[in-house]
Amino acid sequence: MALSHKARRRWALVLLLVWLPLFVVAALWIMSLFDRPSMWLEMLVYLGLGMVWALPFKFIFLGIGRGENEAPRPRKR
């Protein structure tokens, strides 16, 4: 079942206001459990986590910044 553009916009807002802050707090808490091995390794972990948080929700963010008529329709699989 494909989500409408309006539903995807609402879900994107929920993800950005609820899921992202929770993910950031969890990432900071997990990293605080370890000794700081090196600044570069820590930066790579944070950059990797910054990419990973949105991957499962990629289909929700697709076309959110465009108007409803301009947004691409998600492919049915």
In this predicted model, what pLDDT tens digit does every residue of 26-35 receive, in sequence order? Answer: 888 888 887 8
- Judged against a pLDDT cut of 80, whether residue 71 lies above it is answered with no
For residue 17, being part of any structural domain is answered with yes
Q: Which domain holds residue 29?
A: 5-60
For residue 19, being part of any structural domain is answered with yes
Give the span between the Cα atoms of 52 and 24, in whole angstroms: 12
Predicted local distance difference test score (pLDDT) of residue 33: 84
If pLDDT is split at 50, 70 and 90, which confidence band does 74 have?
low
For residue 18, being part of any structural domain is answered with yes
For residue 48, being part of any structural domain is answered with yes
pTM: 0.67
For residue 73, being part of any structural domain is answered with no
For residue 34, being part of any structural domain is answered with yes
For residue 70, being part of any structural domain is answered with no
Task: State how many domains the chain has.
Answer: 1
Q: What is the pLDDT of residues 7-66, one digit of tens each?
A: 888 999 999 999 999 999 988 888 888 787 788 888 888 888 888 888 888 888 887 877
Give the span between the Cα atoms of 74 and 4, in whole angstroms: 10
